[in-house]
Amino acid sequence: MWDAVLAARKPQIALVDEFAHTNAPGSRHPKRYLDVQELLAAGIDVYTTLNIQHLESLNDVVAQITGIVVHETIPDNVIDQSAEIELIDLAPDELLQRLKDGKVYIPEQAAHAIEKFFRKGNLTALREIALRRTADRVDVQMRDYMETRAIAGPWATKERLLVCVSPGALSERLIRTARRLADELEAEWIALYVETPNQARMSQRQRGRMERMLHLAEGLGAKTLTVPNIAVAETIVQYARAHNVTKIIAGANRWRPRLLEFLRGIRWSNQIIADGSCGSNRRCLR
């Protein structure tokens, strides 16, 4: 079949169903996504279909939700390379009715599918995962658009929080606050530590505390990142702008003497505000 498509017909577009499935024995490739990659390499555009449970990175999550391990999976980077993703959304009740009507499987297979995998709770959870995965893809496309056109942003289409952590005593409180706020907003959040040359020479005790703070943030669901740089405020602002962060959470000692600020320099959390990063679209919580 593939020789006919590639050599004889040479179409502009090929339709390939069941993207993640295994081919029949003796086929040109063991997996269907390898067929698609060959067609793309030959300059043929491909439209294909995929269920969310077939993504490799979601295999453990799907097994936890459904109690069934999906063996037909594809690498995530195959999807990441696609030109466009379109979500075909169907309410669980409507899909269950289609199964009962024999529009998906023959009646015997449909009854077994409804009893095992296609339960309403499973379908609701998988639907949410599919919606979120598609939204993440659109968010990446939007950030790429902003970057190529040098748009400073942020565009608050999706909440994204950045909590600034340090070896100081306030970090643990900030991390927990960020987690609560992320839950309220249903937002992604990042814990960022900017390591200056002075902090690189921290005592073992301080370094251990810093590692615990990042571990705490990661355990609470944050993406953690350590960036070495001498300019703390500038690094935070640059990261926030590049990643469309809508809210920055930073700590400040309300009782710090003004003389001490004069001698040691203005605190970096104040520099972030002075930079203008906490404008009408971005809030800085201190």
State the Cα angle at 143 between 139 and 149, rounded to 5°. 145
Percentage of residues of the chain with pLDDT beyond 90: 9
d(CA 286, CA 282): 13
The answer, yes or no, to whether residue 282 has pLDDT greater than 60, is no
Taking a C-beta distance cutoff of 8 angstroms, is the pair 244, 189 a contact?
no
Mean pLDDT, the chain, as a whole number?
78
Taking a C-beta distance cutoff of 8 angstroms, is the pair 237, 245 a contact?
no
Query: Which element (helix H / strand E) includes 283?
Result: strand 283-285
Burial 41-74 (b: 16+ CB within 10 A, else e): eeebebebebebbbbeebeeebeebbeeebeebb
Tell me the per-residue pLDDT of 117-145, one tens digit each, with 9 for 90 and over.
888 888 888 888 888 788 777 766 666 66
Tell me the per-residue pLDDT of 17-37, one tens digit each, with 9 for 90 and over.
889 999 889 888 899 999 899
Taking a C-beta distance cutoff of 8 angstroms, is the pair 285, 204 a contact?
no
Q: Report the pLDDT value the prediction gives residue 255, as an integer from 0 to 100.
A: 41
Between residues 156 and 87, the one the model is more confident about: 87
Per-residue pLDDT band at 6 (split at 50, 70, 90): confident
What is the three-class DSSP state of 281?
coil
Tokens 């040691």 belong to 264
Between residues 256 and 167, the one the model is more confident about: 167
The answer, yes or no, to whether residue 281 has pLDDT greater than 80, is no
Q: Report the pLDDT value the prediction gives residue 45, as an integer from 0 to 100.
A: 92
The average pLDDT across 100-112 equals 77
Percentage of residues of the chain with pLDDT beyond 70: 78
Between residues 164 and 275, the one the model is more confident about: 164
Tell me the per-residue pLDDT of 173-215, one tens digit each, with 9 for 90 and over.
889 889 888 888 878 899 999 888 877 677 888 888 888 899 9
Between residues 117 and 266, the one the model is more confident about: 117
**195 pairs with which residues across the strands?**
228
State the Cα angle at 227 between 191 and 152, rounded to 5°. 75
Closest CA to 47 of 81, 6, 17, 69: 17
Tell me the per-residue pLDDT of 40-58, one tens digit each, with 9 for 90 and over.
998 899 999 888 888 888 8
Q: Report the pLDDT value the prediction gives residue 262, as an integer from 0 to 100.
A: 40
Q: Report the pLDDT value the prediction gives residue 280, as an integer from 0 to 100.
A: 39
Residue positions counted in the chain: 286
pTM for the full model?
A: 0.51
Per-residue pLDDT band at 156 (split at 50, 70, 90): low
Q: Name every residue whose Cβ is closer than 8 Å to that of residue 88 and which is 6 or more positions away in sequence.
A: none
The average pLDDT across 132-161 equals 69
Q: Report the pLDDT value the prediction gives residue 1, as an integer from 0 to 100.
A: 59
Q: Report the pLDDT value the prediction gives residue 257, as an integer from 0 to 100.
A: 46
